[in-house]
Structure 1
Amino acid sequence: MGAIKNKDTKEEFCLAKALWKRCYRYRIHDKTVFGTHDLSFKKYKIAIFVDGKFFH
C-alpha cells in the first residue's frame, strides 16, 4: 500500500473546492509539514487525509 502514489483525486478536489468556498485557506501536499497529507492548515495545525474509493 505504501507504493501507491495517488494524488489529486476527485474526492480530494471536491473537498478542497468546498473548503475554499467557505473561505478556509489551505495548502495541498505541503512539503514543509511532516507526513503525506492531502490538505493542511498550518495556522490551526491540522492535516487532512482523503482516502478515495480505491482503499475501501
Structure 2
Amino acid sequence: MDKMKVTYEVMLGLAAEMVWDDALRKQRSEKLYMEIDKALATGDEVAFRNLTDELKAIN
C-alpha cells in the first residue's frame, strides 16, 4: 500500500507540474501577442522578428 501511495503522490505532482507549465506558456503567449501587436503598430521589424521567433519556440 505504501508503494502505491508514493506512486500516486508522484503522479499528482507530475500532473500539477504539467498544469503549471501550461498556464505559464499560455500567459507568455498572450504577452508575446500583445508585444507583437505593439511592434507592428510602431513598425519595429527587429522586435517583431524576435518576438515571433520566441512565440514559435514556445508553441
TM score, norm. by length of structure 1? 0.35
Which structure shows the higher helix fraction? 2
Which structure shows the higher strand fraction? 1
TM score, norm. by length of structure 2? 0.34
- Tell which structure's C-alpha radius of gyration is larger: 2
